[in-house]
Structure 1
């Protein structure tokens, strides 16, 4: 049996710590009788389990960089923002979340490229094409998300965009910045090792 890389072991520790924290929140707020606070940690446990099931079902392991940023995103958005109410403590936390989403979507775009090319017998998949497609995918999805929020506001009367074009555009800009930085990171990895960025262990 192949031994896990150190990066994946640290991700296991991070995920395990979040699961324990979620269970602790369920127990604590259950004792306090605060049902509203129980929902979020239960949802976190479901999300963590769902990610593992999807990875197993699709037979597409997440490389360490993507898995870490996904776990970090869950921690920031679901624990800090929703469970512990950090929206009122950390300025512009919503923009930080959009920044992280840009990073995540870039890695997901890379994963899609890897899945699309792995059965083509390509001896040397193009790192340049992979990175450009990943960047474009992330930027496009930032726009798609804002279309979704706009549609929810129009058809269901929500206030996801605060009735502001500025909010919409800054969300897209934050996502694009995150995607660009993630793409630059992939460029540095591609220069150090020709194509490790399409392999699971990186």
Structure 2
């Protein structure tokens, strides 16, 4: 009876995975279609910088697909959704449609979302390590702490990069210490919220976040 219970649970996980990935497929296709329409529209209007931004969105989507294929790392549904939503928010709505002046604190929302993505990427790194070295029974709390600290560290590294490019090339990515610290705090909040979500999920299903089978999760 236990064997049949595990089998049906596995089928349920696979079904849920496939359903979420199909929704992500629809989301990604919509981004291609909207970007393609914008390219044609802005080319007709002779607004070439806007058209180039549409091309960049498509190139980023293709780059992510190529990177996933090259590294043989399938993005689990939550990570893929976060990445697609970030592209839609930051590249489509903020840059292409110019909504930075319309949506309050849009930049901070992007940093919050980046913390979520980076936390999921930290988890993905752990999952790949478990799969590569066959580390069965790896503790979920350690994986969650790694994902959290990875995200916070990367948020700091991004601000270092912005500081360096501002100094070297005369850019204006940062607007003082307060702006820098708020960006890091927003990224940390996003990562902390994600780690809490992972901890809750792991508590309900101990193997759910660290399944070495990348067709589940």
TM-score by length of 2: 0.89
Q: CA deviation at 1:151?
A: 0.6
2:27 maps to 1:17:
no
Q: CA deviation at 1:125?
A: 2.0
User: How large is the RMSD of aligned CA atoms in angstroms?
Assistant: 1.3
Summarize deviations over 1:138-193 as a string: whole Å, max 9, x none: 0011111111111111111111112x100000000000000000101111111121
Residue 9 of structure 2 corresponds to which residue in structure 1? none
Summarize deviations over 1:59-80 as a string: whole Å, max 9, x none: 1100000000000000000001
Equivalent residue in structure 1 for 2:110, among 85, 91, 97 = 97
Equivalent residue in structure 1 for 2:58, among 45, 54, 57 = 45
Residue 158 of structure 2 corresponds to which residue in structure 1? 145
Equivalent residue in structure 2 for 1:186, among 191, 198, 202 = 198
Aligned residues: 200
In 2, Cα distance between equivalents of 1:27 and 1:154: 37
Equivalent residue in structure 1 for 2:187, among 157, 175, 183 = 175
Residue 83 of structure 2 corresponds to which residue in structure 1? 70
In 2, Cα distance between equivalents of 1:152 and 1:123: 43
TM-score by length of 1: 0.95
Equivalent residue in structure 2 for 1:115, among 125, 128, 132 = 128
Unmatched runs of 5 consecutive residues or more in structure 1: none
Match of 1:191, SS?
helix
Dislocated runs of 4+, deviation >4 Å: none
Equivalent residue in structure 2 for 1:61, among 71, 74, 94 = 74
Unmatched runs of 5 consecutive residues or more in structure 2: 1-13
Q: CA deviation at 1:119?
A: 2.2
Q: CA deviation at 1:121?
A: 2.2
In 1, Cα distance between equivalents of 2:162 and 2:132: 36
